[in-house]
Structure 1
Amino acid sequence: MSTLSPGLRPTEPRPGTTSASRPGRLGPVTRGPEATRPGRVAAWLTPADRKVLWLYLLTRISLWITAHGARWLFPRGSDVREAAPLLAPFQQWDANHYLHIARDGYFPADTGPWTSGWDNREAFFPGFPLLLRAVHVIVPDWTAAGLLISLVAGAVAVLALSRTARSYVPEDADGHRTVLFFLLSPCAVFLAVGYTEALFLAFALPAWLAAQRHHWAWACTLTALATTVRVSGLFLAAAIAVLFVLTALSARPGKGWRGVAWLALPALPPAAYSWYLHAQTGDWMAWKHAQERGWYREFHAPWEAWTNTWDAAFGGVHATGYAVMFQAELAAMLLGLALTALLLRNRRWPEAAYVALSLWALGTSYWYTSVPRATLLWWPLWTALAALSLRRPWFRTAYLCVAVPVSALVALAFLTGRWAG
C-alpha cells in the first residue's frame, strides 16, 4: 500500500474475520460487557461510539456558549440594553428560507418567480422543509425544531463518519480523531443550525457504508433520501454507481450486475421535485434558474469563476466581511482540487468522482459560493487528515491551532447575522 493511502483506501478484512468484526461495518464493531450493561445507553452503541457522541455533545455545548455570547456582546445597534432572544442567533440566512418553505409552502398565495421581490425559495430542495414541518407539529418553535433536526442528524452523521474512518484509517481505531477534525473544522457551525448539512450526512454516510458492503438496495435508498435534501445527493449516487461498476467488473461473470436497477432510485426525488416545479411554474429547471437569479449560479468557465472570485476577494470591491469569505472560497477550492488529485493518485475512483462533481458544480458559477461549507460533505478529506496526523504527529496540533480560531470566527460571523458562506 502506498504511504499516501491511509485515510483514502479502505482496508480489506483479515483472513478469518467475520462481518461482525470488520472495521467500517454498519453495525457495532464490538459488543463487550460494557456496551450491554443495563442502565447505560442503547446496547448497540460501542464504547467507541459513546466516545464519539461525548465529543459531539461537548462541541454542541461550545457552540451554544458562543451563541449566548454573540447575542449579548454583539447586538445589532450601539446602545442595545436587552439581548436578542435565546434562539435568534441560529435563525440566519438560509435557515429563514427553510422556515418560510416549511411554514408557507413554495408558492404561497399564487406568488412565485413572476412576483416582484421573490425570494427564489424553489432553489432549495424539499427534504429539510418537509421534515421541519413534521417536527414542528411536536416542537412549536420553528427555530427549535430546526435545531433538533440538526442535533439528531448530526449525531447519526458522526457515528457513521467514525465507522467509515475505521475502515479507511485502521490506526484511528475508534474514529475519534477523524470526528475531532470534522467537528472542529472551519464551517462546523453549519452542522448545528437549521441547515441541510447534518441531515444530508445522516443519509449520505450510512449510504456509503452500505455501498462499501455491497448492500446496493440500502445504499441507493439512503442516497435517494439524501437527494431530497441536496442536489449533492446526485454526486453521491454517481460515486456509488462507480463503485458498483468496479465491483461488478471484478465479480464472477453474471453475478456482479445484480442490483443494477437500484442505481436509478436516487434520481427519482429530484425528478419528482422538477415535475412539481414544472406544474407550478411551467419550468422543468425552475430550481436551477432560481439559483441563477438569487446566487449568480449561471454557468461560467472555471477560469472565469476563479477570476471573478479573486477580484471579489482582493479587488477592494466588497466590504471586508464579504471579501474575507471570498478568500475562504478560494482556499476551499484549492483544498478540494488537492483532495481530488490525491484520490485519483490512490485510485479511489468513486470518492474522486464525488468530490470532483461537487467542485464542478461549485466552480462553474459566476463566482464561488459555499465551497467552504461543502467541505463538510467530503468525508475523504477528514479521513485523509486523520491519517496524515497519525503519520506526522505535529499536524494534529497545527490543525487545531489553525482550525479552532477560524471555526470560532465563522461561527461568530454566522451567529451575528454576517455572511459566513
Structure 2
Amino acid sequence: MATATATASRAVRTRTPTAVLALGVFAALRGAGVLVVAAVAWWTGRSPVKVLGESWDSVWYLRIAEHGYGRTQMYPGIGSLQSDSAFFPLYPVLIRCASLVLPGSLTTAALVVAWIAAGAAAVGVYRVGEHLLGPRGGLLLVALWAVLPHSLMLTLAYTEPLLAAFAAWALYALLRGRWGWAAGLAVLAGLTRPTGAAVAAAVVVSAGYEILVRRGRPAPGVWAAAVAAPAGWVSYVLLVGARRDDLLGGYFAVQSGWGSRFDFGAAALRSARNAVSGGHTELATTVTAVLLVAALLLAGRLAADRTIPLPLLVYTGVLLVMTYGGAGFFESKPRFLLPAFPLLLPLAALMAKARPRTAVVVTGVLAGLSYAYGPYLLLVSGVAP
C-alpha cells in the first residue's frame, strides 16, 4: 500500500496518463480492502461474494432487479410497513441489463456494475481534484477517498459508487462549463438515490448564478440545464406518489415507513449524544458520531476557502443537510456522505504541500484503519452500514 502510493508519487513526474494512475491507485487501495473482507468472510465460513453482494440493502436491489417493484415487509418490533419503493430504480435496471450479457448470477452483475461505477467515480474525483489542486493533489484526493473508514461500501453492491460517479463527473462538467453533460448526469443521479437531489441542486444553483452574472444572457444551454437537472429525482418521487394516490406525499410516506423523515437533525443529535455519553456501547455508533463531527469540521474548512467553486459548495452543502437532517439509520450516515468527496479537498491540499513520505505514511495509516474497520462493520457489528 505504501509502495503503491510511493509509486504513484513518482509516476506523477512521468508521462503516465494521470487519470489511469488515479484509477490504479484507487483500485490498489480498494482492492486490498476487498481482499481483507473476503479473507475474513472465508475464515468465518461465509461466502465472500455473498458478503459483498448480498448484504443489507443489496438484497432489496437484487430482488427489484429480478422481480420488479411491489415487495413489502414488516420487521418485528418496528410496527411499520416497509416498501421497496423507497429504493430508486437506476441501479436495479443496470443490474438487470448487466445480467443479460454477463455470466453468473445477479449478484455477480450487481458487483460488476458497482465496481465499474466506483472506478468511474475515482477518475471523476481525480479530475475535480486535478482541476483545483493539480495532478498531485488530485491523486491524493482519490487516495484519501479510497481509505475512508466506510470506503468498503464503494465496493459492495450498493448505490453509493454509482451516485459518486454521476456526481463527480457532473461537478467536473460544471467546472468546465459543459451544461448539457452536467444536466444529463444530474438526471441520472436523481434516479440513483434520494441524495441525488444534491447534484441537481448544484446544477440549478450554478445555472442561476450564471444567469445573474450574465444579466439574463448566459451561455447556451444554461436555461435548459436548470430545468432538466431535477427531472430524474422529481419523476421518481411523483411516480411513487401517483401509485399511492398521493402525488406529493406518497414517496415521503414510503420513507416514513422505513423510519426516514426530515427532523432537522434532532434524532441524529440524540444518537450522537448517547454515543459520546456512553449511553450506547456499540462501536459503530461511536465511530459514526466521531466521523460526523469530523465531517462538520471539514465542511467548515471547505466553506472558508474562497477558492472552492460554487457547484462543489452547493452539492456538498445539500448532501450534508440531507444526511444530518434525516432521522433514522444513524450508523448509515457516514455511508451517505461517501459521495461528498469535496470535503476531503482541504486535506488533499495540505498533503500536496507536505513531503511525499508524509503523504505515504498518512495514507498507509488511514488505509490500515479502514481495512480493520470495514470487516468489523460488515461482518461483526450487526448494524446496517
In the alignment, residue 337 of structure 1 is paired with which amino acid?
Answer: L
2:294 and 2:48 mapped to 1: Cα distance? 36
SS in 1 for 2:31: helix
TM-score where L is the length of structure 2: 0.83
SS in 2 for 1:66: helix
2:50 to 64, 88, 104: 88
2:334 to 372, 376, 381: 372
1:69 aligns with 39
Q: CA deviation at 1:377?
A: 0.9
1:414 and 1:261 mapped to 2: Cα distance? 43
1:329 to 285, 288, 297: 288
Gap change, CA 1:387 and 1:300, over 3 Å in 2: same
2:216 and 2:182 mapped to 1: Cα distance? 23
1:277 and 1:137 mapped to 2: Cα distance? 27
CA deviation map 1:332-387 (0-9, x unaligned): 32233223322332244432222222222122233535221133211212332210
1:309 and 1:395 mapped to 2: Cα distance? 35
CA deviation map 1:293-349 (0-9, x unaligned): 22x3223243x334421244246555x4xx322223322322332233223322444
Q: Which structure carries more helix by proportion?
A: 2
Contact 2:118 2:154 in 1 (8 A): yes
Q: CA deviation at 1:193?
A: 0.9
Q: Does 1:343 align with 2:312?
A: no
CA RMSD in angstroms comes to 2.8
Q: CA deviation at 1:130?
A: 1.2
CA deviation map 1:61-119 (0-9, x unaligned): 3133213312232x3xxxxxxx33341211211111111211122215xx679xx8844
Contact 1:389 1:396 in 2 (8 A): yes
2:232 to 262, 269, 274: 269
2:304 and 2:260 mapped to 1: Cα distance? 30
Contact 2:316 2:343 in 1 (8 A): no
2:125 aligns with 161
How many equivalent pairs are there?
A: 361
Contact 1:355 1:378 in 2 (8 A): yes
2:315 to 339, 354, 357: 354
1:240 to 175, 200, 203: 203
Gap change, CA 1:307 and 1:201, over 3 Å in 2: closer
Contact 1:70 1:415 in 2 (8 A): no
Q: CA deviation at 1:222?
A: 0.9
2:18 aligns with 48
| Bigger shift: residues 53-62 or 233-242 | 53-62
Contact 1:189 1:411 in 2 (8 A): yes
2:88 to 104, 125, 143: 125
In the alignment, residue 145 of structure 1 is paired with which amino acid?
Answer: A
Gap change, CA 1:89 and 1:380, over 3 Å in 2: same
2:226 and 2:80 mapped to 1: Cα distance? 40
Gap change, CA 1:314 and 1:178, over 3 Å in 2: closer
* Unmatched segments (≥5 aa) in structure 2: 1-11
Contact 2:202 2:311 in 1 (8 A): yes
1:379 and 1:207 mapped to 2: Cα distance? 13
Q: Does 1:143 align with 2:102?
A: no
Quote the sequence identity (%): 24
2:244 to 281, 292, 299: 281
1:186 to 124, 130, 149: 149
1:413 to 376, 379, 382: 376
1:258 and 1:129 mapped to 2: Cα distance? 31
In the alignment, residue 340 of structure 2 is paired with which amino acid?
Answer: W
Contact 1:162 1:179 in 2 (8 A): yes
Contact 2:91 2:159 in 1 (8 A): yes
2:324 and 2:218 mapped to 1: Cα distance? 39
Q: Does 1:391 align with 2:353?
A: yes
Contact 1:204 1:223 in 2 (8 A): yes
Gap change, CA 1:186 and 1:120, over 3 Å in 2: same
1:97 to 60, 79, 91: 60
In the alignment, residue 313 of structure 1 is paired with which amino acid?
Answer: A
Gap change, CA 1:62 and 1:259, over 3 Å in 2: same
Gap change, CA 1:243 and 1:107, over 3 Å in 2: same
2:27 aligns with 57
* Unmatched segments (≥5 aa) in structure 1: 1-29, 35-45, 76-82
Gap change, CA 1:229 and 1:261, over 3 Å in 2: same
Gap change, CA 1:64 and 1:363, over 3 Å in 2: closer
1:260 to 202, 223, 248: 223
1:255 and 1:50 mapped to 2: Cα distance? 35
Contact 2:38 2:48 in 1 (8 A): yes
1:420 and 1:117 mapped to 2: Cα distance? 18
Contact 1:362 1:369 in 2 (8 A): no
TM-score where L is the length of structure 1: 0.77
1:404 to 341, 351, 367: 367
